[in-house]
Copies of this chain bind each other. A is one copy, B any other.
Amino acid sequence: MTTLTNRQYFLASRPSGEPTASNVPVRDVPVPEPAAGEVVLRNLYISLDPAIRGWMGDDPNYIEPIAIDDAVRSSVIGRVVKSNDPDYVVGDVAMTMGAWERYTTVQGVTLNKLDESVGIPLSAFLGALGPTGLTAYFGLLEVGKPRSGETVLVSAAAGAVGSVVGQIAKMQGCRVVGMAGTDDKCSWLKDELGFDAVINYKTCGDYGSAIRAACPDGVDVYFDNVGGEILDATLLCLNKFARVAVCGWISTYNIADAPGPRNLWQLVAESVTIQGFTVLDYLERFPEGIGQLVEWMMAGKLKHREEIVDGLDNVLPTFLRLFDGTNQGKLVIRLPEDGTAA
């Protein structure tokens, strides 16, 4: 039996602010033989998501923090190289919650098998057809509850979640306004995805004025990916009975002790609902969501953009690009199909 070597990036200490290589160093460890029911995946794609930053801390969160000395948790797609689960054979491709590592060993029941033959690139199942697409789908429809004719504002609109939110909101008959941080991203939203208006938040000046100009009828649904100053400005632009769907607050993740929003009185002033959610709240409805997203994508109604970076050893610096906004859409690390470490 070959003993495989697993290169993995693990959490040596909890970051304060931006995670560094000393918080997340690398090590090479042997891959254990799979126990009963277990499967070993050689990872092909590793998903990089802002949420991972939250799991590196130990504040109360929707899932357990990553334990110190554990590999950094993330969604992965891999090919089965060893199986001790009768439902999986070597060569199968599947998605699971794995880690920033070459090989992931998990119980077979946690895997979602993927069909390579349908002609959709596998990486899409980490993005628009996977956790981020489902986050957009359930967050917008179940939390934001947009109605035809309403105005939907989306922050981080060119991101993996935001870009899907905007496209679904358009299909609901809404006026859709996106905020993003480069002119290129804004053009993509407007010209390719059909957003009605866009705001480059890095150049627009006062957020409140920019939002009011782009949303002349006010904001009915705010899909919030960023928190911070943009949330505060948006609160003052909300219509009566508006809904704020809180997906994440990426602007605050690397700031220790970020201040709370100051304009929350708008909750009462406009009878607003602010609701937090995670995609895990809708676990039982994943098949419905994925089915719908795949249908839209096959019909050309759902576009996505992903940026694929090769090499496990690029994982940390690539992850940090989520926070400076230099990524273009869904950010994925690709590993070679052969057995090399990274």
Query: Which residues of A approach B to under 8 Å, CB–CB?
Result: 59-62, 236, 241, 246-249, 257-278, 281
Task: Report yes or no: B281 in contact with A61, Cβ–Cβ below 8 A.
Answer: no
Task: Point out which of A248, A264, A270, A273 has the most chain B C-beta atoms below 10 A from its C-beta.
Answer: A264
How many angstroms between the C-alpha atoms of A276 and B60 in the bound complex? 24
Task: Report yes or no: A274 in contact with B273, Cβ–Cβ below 8 A.
Answer: yes
Q: Write the chain B residue with the least CB distance to A275.
A: B273
Contact residue among B59, B259, B269, B275 (Cβ-Cβ distance under 8 Å from A274): B275
Taking A62-B268, A249-B268, A268-B276 as given, write out 7 further A-B residue pairs in contact, using a Cβ cutoff of 8 Å, ordered by the A residue number.
A60-B266, A241-B281, A249-B265, A258-B262, A261-B261, A268-B277, A269-B276
Task: Report yes or no: A277 in contact with B271, Cβ–Cβ below 8 A.
Answer: yes
How many angstroms between the C-alpha atoms of A263 and B260 in the bound complex? 8
Residues A275 and B267 in contact in the complex (CB < 8 Å), given A259-B260, A260-B261: yes
Task: Report yes or no: A267 in contact with B278, Cβ–Cβ below 8 A.
Answer: no
Q: Write the chain B residue with the least CB distance to A63.
A: B269
Task: Report yes or no: A61 in contact with B269, Cβ–Cβ below 8 A.
Answer: yes
Q: Write the chain B residue with the least CB distance to A248.
A: B268
Copies of this chain, count: 2
How many angstroms between the C-alpha atoms of A276 and B260 in the bound complex? 17
Q: Write the chain B residue with the least CB distance to A276.
A: B267
Q: CB-CB < 8 A to A62: which residues of B?
A: 268-271
Q: CB-CB < 8 A to A249: which residues of B?
A: 265, 268
Q: Write the chain B residue with the least CB distance to A267.
A: B276
Q: CB-CB < 8 A to A272: which residues of B?
A: 275-276
Q: Write the chain B residue with the least CB distance to A260.
A: B260
Q: CB-CB < 8 A to A262: which residues of B?
A: 257-260
Q: CB-CB < 8 A to A59: which residues of B?
A: 265, 269
29 contacts between A and B (CB under 8 A): A59-B265, A59-B269, A60-B236, A60-B266, A60-B270, A61-B265, A61-B269, A62-B270, A246-B267, A247-B268, A248-B268, A249-B265, A258-B262, A259-B260, A260-B260, A260-B261, A260-B262, A260-B264, A261-B261, A261-B264, A266-B276, A267-B274, A269-B276, A271-B276, A272-B275, A273-B274, A273-B276, A274-B274, A274-B275
How many angstroms between the C-alpha atoms of A262 and B62 in the bound complex? 17
How many angstroms between the C-alpha atoms of A264 and B261 in the bound complex? 9
Q: CB-CB < 8 A to A267: which residues of B?
A: 246, 274-276
CB-CB nearest 7 A-B residue pairs? A267-B276, A260-B260, A268-B276, A273-B275, A260-B261, A274-B274, A61-B269
How many angstroms between the C-alpha atoms of A294 and B267 in the bound complex? 30
